[in-house]
Amino acid sequence: MLEFIQLLKQRYQTVLQQLDKKNPQYLDYQQRIEQLLHGEAFIRKGELLDNNPDFPLQIAVIGPTQAGKSSVVNLLLNANAAGVSPLAGYTVQAQGFCHSLTPDDCDGMQHYFGRFQRLEQTELRPGRYDCYSLSPSPGASALLPACVCWDTPDFDSIDAADYREGVIRTIALADIVVLVVSKEKYADQSVWEMMKAIEVFQQPTLICVNKLNEGSEPVILDSLRQKWLQTRHAPLPTVVPLLFQKAPAAPNWPQSASQAFSELAKKVTRHKHVARQQQLLSRYWLDWLQPVFAEHHAQHHWQTLVDQSLAQAVKEYQRDYLNHPHHYETFQNALLNLLTLLEIPGIAKALGKTRRAMTWPFRKLFALGGGTPINPNQELGVLNQLGEHLLIQIADRLLEKTETEPADSRWWKETAMALRQKRGDLLQIYRQAVTDYHSDFQQDVEASAQRLYVKLQEQPMILNSLRATRVTTDAGALLLAIQAGGIGVHDLVLTPLMLTITSLLAESAIGSYMHKVEAELKQHQLNTVKTALFEACLKQRLYLLPQGVLSPTRFNISEQQCHTAEQALKEKKHGLRLL
């Protein structure tokens, strides 16, 4: 699941770079990236807790700019550990301070932070955001149990986008969250957007209202309560007011809140992390995958379009060849093979050699002229023409889709461009497949002739009559003309010999059997063309065409990847660990 969430986040980031900031999707995608960052970090925390059940308590101090977060961290630690500055955005990396424990007690921390590098606090630099520090606290505090207390960057400044991922990772890691706001900042929208975003973590929370003036507490605390109830479903947590102190004096922690963190630590429920993780993912799942599902939907439409075009091509093949009274020649080919089988045993071999010798000058003449026969095969011509027409038809349908489906117009335009680029290769592959099919199918034609011949052997009188017809001069002239290229097989039916043989077969006892063989051969030919050419050769290649579009505007996450991730999400409901 972690790998899938990371993949989805990366695709969102890539697509976002291609969008104009005025595009309505821009803000939506930005928000989803942040949600994915929350999801990724929370999954990482689940892995951390699985591998390190005794991982120390984590407390994150968060808040907007100049709310006094670093000052509060120092107050809680009873030490000057966090750097303090009157300048906004002074802290830009997460800084952890180990209270009553050492950094060595935090085994697994680096794995949790992933690509973020751990540095010493003194090595942190303003322009370096992909890092964090983990240091021992120099003092002891009566306010905190053994824990890591984190000072975090702000989440509301202009520069916060640069280091927001570090903030999110630190918040997700926390068992307890301390929200620090000032009297100027507590009502900011950014504060409550963040609190709403992390509500799914269900972390015990404490609010520090810093820099309060005496007498202003009731008004600000009442307003704060209203903001909380408008944003969160849980009751208002403990609120600790910190009165304004002139520098360099530090604020005083109220005695009434001295046990606040001990009480909050009792509310930490790490054993529920699994359920909360599943709730977080389920909450955003459909929104996150909306553009991915849109691509799947377009892919299904594309496959339907391909299926419809291929089905139409099959109908045209039946109309223009199989059922055409002048073009269909396959069964005549079978009868031509039957003629060879009917030759009188003993002289067939000699006749064959004589025929080849007689036709050699004609065949040589055609070869010198380019090898093109006077009457090319009708089926090859029909199939090649259908392939070209099919791709033209699909290209036209793609252009229609770009106009009729504006929401996915870019997807259709890119697919149309891919088809235009691949059209030559597809046609070349298809034409070769047509040639291979036609050559291979001759075995089926010969098999049909063999079936007729075997049946004829059961009728000696009919067989002898056909053999008598076969040895006429008309047969020799006919075969000479066909093998020399003077006439095509489709002209065979018009010759006196074939008219005689066809009549004898049709009127004989095996007439119905001959029609059966012809019908079966035609049906087999239809199925073979449909399977070998339109499905095996074109269908799969056309299906995969959009998936080969390497566009930065596409997510290109397969349905199988989504299905696997969704299965892992559903398994979570039954207490199984997300993989």
Range in 280-289, 442-451, 480-489 the model is least confident about: 480-489
Tokens of 148: 């890591």
**What are the C-alpha distances in Å from 448 to residues 94, 250, 454, 456, 531?**
81, 101, 10, 12, 20
Question: How far is Cα 82 from Cα 553, in angstroms, rounded to an integer?
Answer: 43
* 185, 157 contact by CB (below 8 A): no
Residues 545-573 as b or e (16 or more Cβ within 10 Å = b): bbeeeebeebbbbeeeebeebeebbeebe
Strand order in the sheet with 94-99: 117-119, 131-136, 94-99, 147-151, 57-62, 176-182, 205-212, 238-243
Radius of gyration of the chain (CA): 40
Q: What is the pTM of this model?
A: 0.74
In a domain, 258, yes or no: yes
In a domain, 167, yes or no: yes
Q: Both 228 and 304 in a single domain? A: no
In a domain, 16, yes or no: no
CATH number for position 148 = 3.40.50.300
In a domain, 452, yes or no: yes
Q: Both 226 and 321 in a single domain? A: no
Q: Both 216 and 295 in a single domain? A: no
With cut-offs at 50, 70 and 90, classify the pLDDT of residue 299.
very high
Q: Both 376 and 485 in a single domain? A: yes
Res 165: pLDDT: 87
In a domain, 98, yes or no: yes
What are the pLDDT digits (tens) for 397-426?
Answer: 999 888 888 888 889 999 999 999 999 999
DSSP state of 494: G
What are the pLDDT digits (tens) for 116-158?
Answer: 999 988 888 888 888 999 999 988 888 999 999 999 988 888 7
Query: Which H helix or E strand runs over 150?
Result: strand 147-151
Query: Which H helix or E strand runs over 208?
Result: strand 205-212
Predicted confidence (pLDDT) at residue 492 exceeds the cutoff of 50: no
Residue with tokens 């023409």: 385
Q: Both 453 and 304 in a single domain? A: yes
Q: Name the average pLDDT for the chain.
A: 81
Tokens of 221: 């605390």
Q: Both 380 and 502 in a single domain? A: yes
Res 343: pLDDT: 61
Q: Both 259 and 297 in a single domain? A: no
Q: Both 412 and 527 in a single domain? A: yes
Question: How far is Cα 150 from Cα 170, in angstroms, rounded to an integer?
Answer: 8
Tokens of 512: 């119905």
Between residues 345 and 312, the one the model is more confident about: 312
In a domain, 377, yes or no: yes
Q: Is 474 left (phi over 0), alpha (psi -120 to 50) or beta?
A: alpha
Q: Both 237 and 98 in a single domain? A: yes
- When divided into structural domains, the chain yields a total of 2
Predicted confidence (pLDDT) at residue 465 exceeds the cutoff of 90: no
Q: Both 195 and 330 in a single domain? A: no
**What are the C-alpha distances in Å from 576 to residues 486, 565, 567, 568?**
76, 13, 11, 8
In a domain, 33, yes or no: no
Residue with tokens 């994915």: 36
With cut-offs at 50, 70 and 90, classify the pLDDT of residue 579.
very low
Between residues 476 and 198, the one the model is more confident about: 198
Predicted confidence (pLDDT) at residue 372 exceeds the cutoff of 80: no
Average pLDDT for residues 96-100, to the nearest whole number? 92
With cut-offs at 50, 70 and 90, classify the pLDDT of residue 98.
very high
Res 417: pLDDT: 92
Res 7: pLDDT: 92
With cut-offs at 50, 70 and 90, classify the pLDDT of residue 528.
very high
* Long-range contacts at 408-414 (CB < 8 A, ≥ 24 apart): 408/294, 408/297, 408/298, 410/553, 411/295, 411/298, 411/546, 411/554, 412/298, 414/546, 414/549, 414/551, 414/553, 414/554
Res 503: pLDDT: 59
The β-bridge partners of 12 are none
In a domain, 73, yes or no: yes
- The domain of 189 spans 55-268
Q: Both 535 and 491 in a single domain? A: yes
Q: What percent of the chain has pLDDT over 90?
A: 33
Q: Both 246 and 299 in a single domain? A: no
Range in 77-86, 260-269, 297-306 the model is least confident about: 77-86
Tokens of 566: 């969704």
Tokens of 129: 């955001």
